[in-house]
Structure formats: structure tokens, C-alpha cells
Amino acid sequence: MNQSILGLHHITAIANNAQRNYDFYTHVLGLRMVKKTVNFDDPTTYHFYYGNEEGTPGTILTFFPWEGIGPGRNGTGMATEIGYSVPADSLENWIGRFREARVSMGEPGERFGEQYLPFTDPDGLALTLVVPKQPDTRPAWETETIKQDTATRGFHSVTLTLQNIDATAKVLTDIFGYRLQSQEGNRYRFQTNTVPEAAIVDLLEEPKGERGRNAAGTNHHVAFRVANDTVQMEFRDKILSSGLQITPKIDRDYFFSLYFREPGGVLFEIATDNPGFTVDESLAELGSNLKLPKQYEASRSRIEKALPVLQTM
């Protein structure tokens, strides 16, 4: 049994409009919607999961599309950038695609010896496409217009912006088993060697940075991956022993979750591989049906009427 943190499991962000969010991530970025469900705490709001064909941990970006919530603000105490791994020589294709789709993007650059292309989604969520030093061998989800030689493979990294990185770095190294790999200016790269992909967390130190505000275009939390809930509960004990507060285990239907706020202010989650997204839909049908947590199934008719109509063709 692997008793380690296995890199990133998923990242959850906030959107302002469900249809616009779906259109961008499936049609423009070419991800698969692997689950369409609702927010556990607000069943009149969707919870979308995008990933590869199976929704493999390390590929899953999820959204709460709260209609009309308005824009948030990136800042300290939050995850501020999501990196996606793409094949070598694919950035020019992406630049052309983004221009055609009128996606807001920055200039290509290089960071830690890797080429990257920054861009934002329609709500202003900051993302980058990264060509990793080591080729990413994960199979990609293909669409009619995005094939294996271009498609995203899953997460490359996530960036956390903090006023001071020391206490957060200690959580990454002493509890999660990450190591400091390199530094460029005020950006510190931490990596785990337990998995080859979705293994990087960058800490960006901005002592005078303004605190972020969660709403559309910002990240809600970052989830780290463990093999199962037995390992998960061992990490719960470690976190409690470190003096941090953490929730009990919560059943999220497709994985089990623990939540805690690390000292820099970012909401962390520890999520399991089990049971996975095919527990209530076949692989071929993933994301096709509205799946409700069992406590809301009796209210399906009312919930379906309250949710925005979503065109998925």
C-alpha cells in the first residue's frame, strides 16, 4: 500500500455562469466532463468535474458555477494559477486555437527550464499550459479538433501565493513529503517523487501582497491525492499532531475528503482514489446524467427546475 501523498488529486474553482464554463472547458480546452452533480451544501448550484476519459486523479478540475456571483480577486492566501501539461511543440497550436476562440492569453515564457503559455478562462481564472521537461505519458482525452499531439494530459502544477511561505512549506515537506527543488526569484518549486505527474506545487512569496477574495475566477481549494481512506486517516492524525485543525472524513460519493486550512490561508483537501467516478455511471456515460447525492434524490424534480438549463451538444 502506498502511504504517501500522490501529488494533486483535483482543484476546485468558482465560475459565474454554468453554460459559459461548460463551453470553454469542453469545447475550447478540450476536457471531458466526467461528472455533472450539485454542490453538497447548495444543491441549486451545479458541481462540474472535468478531466481525462476516466477522471483520473491529477486531471480533475472542478467548478462551482454560482450564477451571477461576480468576479473574485486573486491574491495572497489562495491558489492563484493552475498549470496543465501539454506535449512538446504544441504551444503554437494552442496559441492559434486561443486566438480563434478569442481567449485572453499572455506571452509564452520559460520557467524552471520549461516553456509555458499563460491564459485565462472567461471568468479570469489564471491557467498555464506547460511543456514539462520529462514527457507526460498520461493518455489524453481527444475531441474532434484536439488530438493526442496537442491535448492536455492533466495537471502539471499549482501555484499558491502567500505573504510568507515558511509555514506552508513546512506542511508540504514535513507532512506531505514534498521537497524544495528549485527557486527563481520569489517562486519556490516543491515536488513529490511519489508520482511522475501532477507532482509540483509552486509557492509564490509576496510579503506585501493583498489578500485574495473568493468568487468567480478564483480557486476555492486544492486537493491532494492518497490511495484510500485508510492512508487518509493516517494523514489526519499527522495534521492534528502538527497543531492544525482538520475536518472528519466526509463522503463525497466519488472520493472521501478531509479539509484543513494551511497556515498561509489556502484551503487544502486530502482526497482518496476510491471509489472513483464510475461508481454510478459507466465509463462511456460519464458526465451525461445529472447525478445527485443520495440525500437530495427525493428532491430531484425541485432541484432540476432550480438549476440552469445546460446545453451539452
Asked whether the predicted pLDDT for residue 313 surpasses 90, the reply is no
In the chain, the amino acid numbered 182 is S
Confidence class for position 3, pLDDT limits 50, 70, 90? confident
What is the tens place of the pLDDT at every residue in 286-302?
A: 999 999 999 999 999 99
What is the tens place of the pLDDT at every residue in 165-216?
A: 999 999 999 999 999 999 999 999 999 999 999 999 999 999 999 999 999 9
Bridge partners, 129 (sequence order): 84, 117
In the chain, the amino acid numbered 248 is P
Cis bond leading into 65, ω under 30°?
no
Confidence class for position 225, pLDDT limits 50, 70, 90? very high
- Supply the pLDDT for residue 277: 97
Confidence class for position 1, pLDDT limits 50, 70, 90? very low
By percentage, how much of the chain surpasses pLDDT 90? 98
Asked whether the predicted pLDDT for residue 222 surpasses 80, the reply is yes
What is the residue-wise DSSP string for 106-122? ---EEETTEEEEEEE-T
Write down the residue that cell numbers 509555458 correspond to. Answer: 116
Domains of the chain: 8-306 (3.10.180.10)
Q: CB-based contacts of 305: which residues, under 8 Å, 6+ apart?
A: none
- Supply the pLDDT for residue 131: 98
In the chain, the amino acid numbered 129 is L
Q: CB-based contacts of 196: which residues, under 8 Å, 6+ apart?
A: 134, 137
Asked whether the predicted pLDDT for residue 272 surpasses 80, the reply is yes
In the chain, the amino acid numbered 205 is E
What is the tens place of the pLDDT at every residue in 39-86?
A: 999 999 999 999 999 999 999 999 999 999 999 999 999 999 999 999
For residues 179 and 200, give the distance between their C-alpha atoms in angstroms, rounded to a whole number: 10
The answer to whether residues 252 and 291 touch, using CB atoms and an 8 Å cutoff, is no
Provide mean pLDDT across the span 219-231.
97
- Supply the pLDDT for residue 2: 67
On average, the pLDDT of the chain sits at 96
For residues 7 and 98, give the distance between their C-alpha atoms in angstroms, rounded to a whole number: 29
The dihedrals phi and psi of 229, each to the nearest 5 degrees, come to -75, -15
What is the residue-wise DSSP string for 19-61? HHHHHIIIIIS--EEEEEEE-SS-TTSEEEEEESSS--TTSEE
For residues 146 and 131, give the distance between their C-alpha atoms in angstroms, rounded to a whole number: 16
- Supply the pLDDT for residue 15: 98
